[in-house]
Amino acid sequence: MQRKAVRRRALPGVAMLTALVAGVTGLTGCTEKSGPGTTTDAKAGGSTAVPAQPGKYRNLPAPCKAADVKRLRGMLPADESLTDEQRELLYAGTADASYDADRRVGCRWTAQTPSETRLLSIGFERVVSYDRAAASDDDKARQVYVRRLTDAHLPFPGISASPSSPSSPSAPPAPAAPSSPPAAPGATPNPAAPGGSPSGSPSPTAAPELGSRVLAGLGNEAYIEDKLSPAGTTAPQSRTVRTVFRTSNVIVTIEYSVQPSQPGIVPSSAETQDKVRQLAQALVERFNE
């Protein structure tokens, strides 16, 4: 009689466990069956974002060998008194100190003659994104480029000038100078007369300033800065042109300065910019090899 009583008391507990198991099974079935217009993924980590691929460039070229010697000679004329060994050292350049040659490197050259001093520097920076799930190496490099563009006080995205005509918007024409009264017979022309010269031909005008602007057709994006030091009675005016361009995840900076020894000589904006842009284009082609 006692055994039958025990069995009767255990039956409710077994029934309760059976009901709970059935309920869990029913809930699982409802979860697996998606309603209309919904999708589910039972696999763990199915929504994890795929990280971006590394940047195109994994290392950097040697900066002191980035430009060919022929181009360096055109940008950095050597003094005639230099020996062959001294010329070789001049065009070999001096590498910047670098703690990671795969991330940031640079090189500098200096050429001095009795009439002027010319300085050239080339710098490479490879940008790496430490969280490629949020931004790729290229995206990070573009952020670096935009910051430098902003520091240069240039508009972004801005209006790019075409490579064939890099001039800035022209200024309105100056009013014509009043004509001089006719000279008396036998009178000598005044060299200081407006619009006149000792030979009677118009006086030469100053070379146009191209200025700083965004460039087109150079890498993925590029800009150029052109700065002329203030004029002085004794201090000569120097011109410094800097070009920054991005190619994939690498930022390239070229800086070129022309410093005359005597005052009154203004380095040409067009010539200085042209030399820098030709060097920049050669570097772009080297990266594309």
Residue of 117, 106, 111, 112 lying closest to 67 (CA atoms): 106
What is d(CA 263, CA 269) in angstroms, rounded to the nearest whole number?
A: 17
Does the residue 224 lie in any domain?
Answer: yes
Does the residue 22 lie in any domain?
Answer: no
Structural domain harbouring 230: 63-77+85-163+210-288
Reported as a single tens digit per residue, the pLDDT across 89-143 is 999 999 999 889 999 999 999 999 999 999 999 999 999 999 988 899 999 999 9
**Beta-sheet pairing, 213-215 with 116-126:** unpaired
The number of domains in the chain is 1
Does the residue 9 lie in any domain?
Answer: no
Does the residue 284 lie in any domain?
Answer: yes
Reported as a single tens digit per residue, the pLDDT across 147-195 is 999 999 998 754 444 443 343 333 334 334 444 444 444 443 443 333 3
Question: For residue 96, what is the DSSP state?
Answer: P
CATH number, domain with residue 130: 3.40.1000
Handedness of CA 145, 150, 152, 156 (dihedral sign): positive
Does the residue 130 lie in any domain?
Answer: yes
Reported as a single tens digit per residue, the pLDDT across 26-41 is 444 444 444 444 444 4
Provide the token pair at 227: 């700065």
With bands split at pLDDT 50, 70 and 90, how would you rate the model's confidence at 47?
low
**Residue the block writes with tokens 């790019």:** 160
Does the residue 192 lie in any domain?
Answer: no
**Beta-sheet pairing, 250-260 with 221-228:** unpaired
Whether the Cβ atoms of residue 215 and residue 245 lie closer than 8 Å to each other:
yes
pTM of the model: 0.68
